[in-house]
Homo-oligomer: A and B are copies of this chain.
Amino acid sequence: MAYRRTASVDARIERTREAILRAARRAVAEHGLSGVGMASVATDAGVSVGTVYRYFDHKTALLREVVDDVCSREIEVVAKLAATPTDPAERFVAAVDGFAGRAVASGRVAYAVIAEPAPAEVEATRVRHRRDLAAVFAAIIADGVAAGVFPEQDPDIAATAVVGAVSEVIVGPLAPAVRRPADVEVVLAQTIAIARRAVTGHLDPTPGGSR
C-alpha cells in the first residue's frame, strides 16, 4: 500500500468534475443538448476524452446531470418566489417574472433544459422537471381558484399553457429581438401582463375585485 487518496487529490477531482460540467453547460447553452460533443467538452474542460469518461459513464449521464443541475436550481428559485405569503395574483406574477427573467438571462440553457427534446433517458429527467415547474404554477392557480379570486379553470392545463407561452416568447422566433437589452424589459412586461390576464382574469396589475 503506497498510495491513498488524499485531500488535495479529492479537491482536484472535484475541480475537474466541475470543469467538465461547466464545459457541458456551456456547450448546451451554445448548441443545445443535441449539439454537445464529448470531444469538445473535454477540450473545453481542459482534459482528455478519456477523462470525461472516467467521470461520466455515458454522454447521456453527463447530459442528465447538466439538466438536473440547471432545472433544480431554476425550479427552486421559482418555487421560493411562489411561496411568499401574499395573495395568489401577486405570487403568480412573481413566479412568472422569476421564471421568465431567469430564462432570458440564462440564454439558450433554459430552453434546452425546459423545452428541447433529448434522448430517452435525459428526456425522462427533463419531463419530470418541467412537470415540477408547471406544478409550482398550478399550485398558485389552484389557490386562486379556491379563494375565488381567479376564474374557474383547470390549474394543470393553465400552468402548462403559461410555461409554454413564456418559453415560446423567450426562446422562440422573437428571441433575437429579445437579445436587444432595451427590449428585454418590454418583452418581459408584456409576457407577464398576458399571463396575468390569462390566469387571474384581471386586466390591471393591482388586484382587488374582478377588474
Residues of A within 8 A of B (CB): 32, 34, 115-117, 127, 130-131, 134, 151, 153-154, 156-158, 160-169, 172-174, 186-187, 190-191, 193-195, 197-199, 201, 203, 210-211
Residues in B whose Cβ lies below 8 Å from that of A186:
154
Q: In the bound complex, do residue B117 and residue A161 qualify as a contact, i.e. CB atoms below 8 Å apart?
A: no
Given known A-B contacts A158-B194, A186-B154, A211-B211, A168 and B164 have beta carbons under 8 A apart: yes
The reply to whether A161 and B151 contact each other, CB–CB distance below 8 Å, is no
Residues of B within 8 A of A194 (CB): 153, 157-158, 161, 198-199
Number of copies: 2
Residues of B with C-beta under 8 A to A210: 203, 211
> Judging by beta carbons under 8 Å apart, are A174 and B197 in contact?
no
Taking the nearest CB of chain B, how far is it from the CB of A125, in angstroms? Answer: 13
CA distance A201 to B32 in the complex (A): 36
* Given A117-B117, A172-B164, A195-B198, also A190-B154 (CB < 8 A): yes
Contacts of A167 in B (CB 8 A): 164, 168
Once A32-B117, A117-B117, A174-B156 are accepted as A-B contacts, the answer to whether A191 and B161 lie under 8 Å apart by CB is yes
* Residues in B neighbouring A172, C-beta threshold 8 A: 130, 160, 163-164
Q: Please determine whether A165 and B161 come into contact, CB atoms closer than 8 angstroms.
A: yes
Nearest CB to that of A33 among chain B residues?
Answer: B117
Q: A156–B186 Cα gap in the complex (Å)?
A: 12
Contact yes or no, A173 B160, CB < 8 A: yes
